[in-house]
Chains A and B, each alone.
Chain A
């Protein structure tokens, strides 16, 4: 029997047991997940439908805009899928216990590679189907397509998710085989820096003279021009979007043509990927597990590369007044561990890098030239994007922190500093990191939008409060619902934070974070737009209402920080280690 097929079967059996266990052990969790999925699908469908209906009102351009939206959507997804496959793939191929175990058995290394790429592809891509489902449904209903359209699109998505999975695997296995881990870190940092520098240097605002007369046409021109990169015919996202558009219009052969282009490229990518795996995977695995330096024979790569050891940060923390020695030690330990785990911080770089690129690009669409109501609206959207990204990252990275300390609880739990200090340190560290990033983005966004000073203070203050609120939720729920395994399972338990997050606590953390940020943004929108609706922008009561709204936001944020933290502190005080 084929090894990959055997592994798929055994993992399928375990997945069924996990789902059954969730249903049996926690009806609450099953309910939360079901409500969340249904909520996203219903909300997503109506949201996408409203957007499509809005575009349909643009005279003469509705089809062009809708098509362009699809090209951009699939282009963005392709990039995200590739990054996602690379990040998950590295952990699955080179840091995974199952991989190591399989490599000791009479199983070909290329079969282990094929299985891990398949597993990574499934893990990285399921969310794509989840996200794209309501959009396709709304698009199909708007275009009044027959039912078989959905079936064809479902088949079309298979080669579309295969391509980034193969591309990600080839990049990761090649980089691990040929680049030293420290060189790899430098390359990631350099690429990130180049992307940001390129965006800052090359992205210039267009001349929007005369926009007042033909504002709508100028906006559309700008949008179409700015998104031209998504309609390059050599992009896989172009092929998938072209197929969807053609099939929805009833052009079967054109849709079929692009499907075949996609399929043939996916098959070719599969061939390249398996060839790369056959040549590089075992060597790369051996290198990844051979600590210390290695020599490639290429002088440029063999030059000694030393990443900064964060000594300046250590010194900075030592110099901070008012910190207890134990807290200093915990902060330095957490920072060092974060910095040394490339898979952790590279996701931060990607998420906030993309957000940074977007903010830097605000001038591209010349939002700063619009009226104040529109600019305020864009700023609220930016606040939403920054806080949503932050909620995702606090759930992904901060929530599992306490569970990850599981094996070390014998040390931290009996140390004189106590677990109370550990939790508080994690809250402050997470909040400080979140404030540093989100506040920079928010200030930059407000400056680029040329918002008045009081709005800069308003949005900056809100994002600071949300950084504390989201960190409090993640640290608190992380300690209240840790995933540390039972008995001996704790010793053998999953060390992968991505899998810790997938439990009940992680789901609850994300849902609570989402409710909190929706509540805060809702209050802020109400405070900003209620006066506009009833009193006009220049009304004197406006500032008062905004201040009142912000005070409510502050109150909600204090509650979001304090309540889960108090419950968590109470729990760790009575925790049996």
Chain B
């Protein structure tokens, strides 16, 4: 569903993403890890078509994000780390607007919005303007908006930051459920326990290069660490950092 082919993004002398190739299957939950400045956000910007690659290409559901952006983005639901929301709208109004931008009909928007507001416990704040929401409530609304058009690919950047335990639990359940139903989830996160708990496969990016990819067991084998994902992550990123220096 997501096909990344020899993707490279250079910012002058800096190679932010270096010859990245990766395929994420339909219904797969893929966690994308890496230290700060590894190139995760740049990769996500390339996946959503916000940036043009220096080389390589990204296919979403077979559509090249650069040459057929509308068809590719129609399949994507994207949640950035600091989502943009219209402060002076109410949640339902915001969802209606997003649904219209995705070309959904009014009936479907109303039906889906109602269900999502209930799932994310937003129905109790639906009469309030978004400007009064806490960070966690904003995050829940942002993911509701991303799920509204029932996307085939869900791309999420640091979703769990700012969510309370109940919100985190709801979010994990929804994502797991969506992946089971066939949605491809691409989650960039620093919270290793979330990746360990939810992901079918994990990719580790370091200095723009994909240094490891596989299941938990495969990563453990590759790193030589027996313990938790944290040990594997530290071993893999340390090794590459030392090699680079």
Segment 176-203 of A: residues with Cβ below 8 Å from B: none
Q: Report B2-46 residues with CB < 8 Å from chain A CB.
A: 9, 11-14, 45
Chain A residues closer than 8 Å to B11, beta-carbon distance: 290-293
In this assembly, does A97 line the interface, its C-beta being within 8 Å of a C-beta of chain B? yes
Q: Give the complex CA separation of A427 and B85 in angstroms.
A: 35
How many positions in chain B have a CB within 8 Å of any CB in the partner chain? 42
Partner of B101, one of A6, A294, A487, A489: A6
A278 CA / B11 CA spacing, docked (Å): 24
In the complex, the answer to whether A1 meets B50 with C-beta atoms within 8 Å is no
Given contacts A18-B88, A98-B84, A103-B49, whether A488 and B70 have CB atoms under 8 Å apart is no
B50 partner, pick from A97, A104, A294, beta carbons under 8 A: A104
A63 CB, min distance to chain B CBs, angstroms? 50
Instruction: Decide: B13 and A293 in contact? CB cutoff 8 A.
Output: yes
Binary contact track A282-297/B, C-beta < 8 Å → 1, others 0:
1101100111111000
Residues B48 and A104 in contact, CB atoms below 8 Å apart:
yes
Determine whether the beta carbon of A10 is less than 8 Å from that of B89: yes
Tell me whether A97 and B49 are in contact in the complex, defined as CB-CB below 8 angstroms, given that A294-B12, A487-B134 are known contacts. Answer: no
Expressed in whole angstroms, the Cα–Cα distance for A281 and B236 within the complex equals 40
CB-based contact A286/B52 at 8 Å = yes
Given A289-B51, A290-B11, A292-B13, CB of A489 within 8 Å of CB of B74: no
Nearest CB on A from B35, distance (A): 18
Q: A101 — which chain B residues lie within 8 A by C-beta?
A: 80, 83-84
Residue B97 at the chain A interface, CB threshold 8 Å = yes
> A502 at interface (Cβ–Cβ under 8 A)?
no
Whether A105 contacts B101 in the complex (CB less than 8 A), given A14-B88, A289-B50, comes out as yes
Contact of A488 among B86, B88, B98, B133 (CB under 8 A): B133
Contacts of B100 in A (CB 8 A): 1, 6
- Interface membership of B135, Cβ < 8 A: yes
Residues from chain A with Cβ under 8 Å of B80 in the complex: 101, 104
Q: B200-226: contact bitstring with A at CB < 8 Å (1 yes, 0 no)?
A: 000000000000000000000000000
- 1/0 per residue, CB under 8 A from A, across B59-101: the answer is 0000000000111011010101011111111000100011011
Complex alpha-carbon distance, A18 and B85, angstroms = 16
Q: In the assembled complex, which residues on chain B have CB atoms less than 8 Å from the CB atom of A290?
A: 9, 11, 51-52
**What 0/1 readout, one digit per residue, does chain A (430-460) give for beta carbons within 8 Å of chain B?**
0000000000000000000000000000000
Is A333's beta carbon under 8 Å from chain B? no
Contact across chains for A486 and B9 when beta carbons are under 8 A apart: no
Contact partners of B97 in chain A: CB under 8 A: 6, 10
Q: Are A13 and B89 in contact (CB under 8 A)?
A: yes
Smallest CB-CB separation from B76: which chain A residue?
A: A104
Q: How far is the CA of A13 from the CA of B93 in the complex (A)?
A: 10
Q: How far apart are B144's CB and chain A's nearest CB, in angstroms?
A: 15
CA–CA, A530 to B239, complex, Å? Answer: 84
Q: Which residues on B sit within 8 Å (CB–CB) of A487?
A: 132, 134
Query: Is B114's CB within 8 Å of the partner chain A?
Result: no
Tell me the nearest residue of chain A to B46, going by C-beta: A286
Given contacts A290-B9, A486-B132, A491-B82, contact A105 B88 (CB under 8 A): no
Complex CA gap A108/B103 in Å reads 13
CA of A489 to CA of B86, assembled, Å: 11
**Cα distance A483–B26 in the bound complex, in angstroms:** 46
Decide if B129 is an interface residue (CB 8 Å cutoff): yes
Number of A-B residue pairs having CB atoms within 8 Å of each other in the complex: 98
> In the complex, A102 Cα to B129 Cα: how many Å?
21
Chain B, residues 95-121, CB within 8 Å of chain A (1/0): the string is: 001101111000000000000000000
| CB pair A488 B134 closer than 8 Å | yes
Q: Nearest residue in B to A286 (C-beta to C-beta)? A: B52
Q: How many residues on the A side are at the interface (Cβ–Cβ under 8 A)?
A: 37
For A294, what are the chain B residues with a Cβ–Cβ distance below 8 Å?
12
Say whether, besides A105-B101, A293-B12, A286 and B129 are in contact (CB < 8 Å): no
Known: A106-B103, A292-B14. A492 touches B51 (CB 8 A): no
Most chain B C-beta atoms within 10 Å of own C-beta, residue among A283, A290, A491: A290
For residue B138, CB closer than 8 A to chain A, the reply is yes
A107/B101 in contact, CB under 8 A: yes
Instruction: Determine the residue in chain B with the shortest Cβ distance to A489.
Output: B131
Q: How far is the CB of A470 from chain B (nearest CB, A)?
A: 31
In whole angstroms, how far apart are the Cα atoms of A512 and B98 in the complex? 42
B139 vs chain A, min Cβ distance (A): 10
A488 touches B135 (CB 8 A): yes
Cα distance A102–B49 when bound, in Å?
Answer: 11
Binary contact readout A360-377 vs B (1 if CB under 8 angstroms, 0 otherwise): 000000000000000000
* Bound-complex Cα distance A106 to B151 (A): 12
Bound: A283/B50 CA distance, A: 10
Name which of B50, B73, B98, B100 has the most chain A CB atoms within 10 A of its CB: B50
Q: How far is the CB of B60 from chain A (nearest CB, A)?
A: 11
Chain A residues contacting B52 (CB-CB under 8 Å) are: 282-283, 286, 290
Q: Which B131-182 residues have C-beta < 8 A from chain A?
A: 131-135, 137-138
Is A154 interfacial (CB-CB < 8 Å)? no
A17 within 8 A of B: yes
- CA A492 – CA B81 in complex, angstroms? 11
Which positions 13-50 of chain A face chain B at CB distance < 8 Å? Answer: 13-14, 17-18
- When chains A and B are docked, how far (Å) is the Cα of A488 from the Cα of B87? 11
Q: Is A100 part of the binding interface, using a Cβ–Cβ cutoff of 8 Å?
A: yes
Chain B's closest residue to A15 (CB) is B88
Does chain B have a CB within 8 A of A3? yes
Q: What is the CB-to-nearest-CB distance from B147 to chain A, in angstroms, rounded to a whole number?
A: 14
With contacts A283-B52, A486-B132, A488-B138 taken as known, whether A106 is within 8 angstroms of B88 at the C-beta atoms is no
Name A287's closest neighbour in chain B (CB-CB): B52
Q: How far is the CB of B58 from chain A (nearest CB, A)?
A: 13
Query: Across the interface, which residues of B come within 8 angstroms of A282, CB to CB?
Result: 52
A69-101 vs B: 1/0 string, CB under 8 Å? 000000000000000000000000000011011
B12 touches A106 (CB 8 A): no
**Complex CA–CA separation, A292 to B11 (angstroms):** 5
Q: What residue in chain A is nearest B97 (Cβ atoms)?
A: A10
Q: A10: which B residues are within 8 A, CB to CB?
A: 86, 89, 93, 97
Contact A106 B135 (CB under 8 A): no
- Of A17, A107, A283, A485, the residue contacting B88 (CB under 8 A) is A17
Q: How far is the CA of A3 from the CA of B97 in the complex (A)?
A: 10
A105 cross-chain contacts in B, Cβ below 8 A: 73, 98, 101-102
The 5 closest A-B pairs by CB, nearest first: A292-B12, A293-B12, A292-B11, A14-B88, A101-B84
A-B contact pairs, 15 of them (CB 8 A): A6-B101, A13-B89, A14-B88, A17-B88, A101-B80, A104-B76, A104-B80, A105-B73, A105-B102, A286-B51, A289-B45, A290-B11, A488-B133, A489-B132, A492-B138
Other contacts beyond A488-B133, A488-B134: 13, CB < 8 A: A6-B101, A13-B89, A105-B73, A106-B73, A106-B103, A107-B70, A107-B101, A286-B52, A290-B51, A293-B12, A489-B131, A492-B82, A492-B135
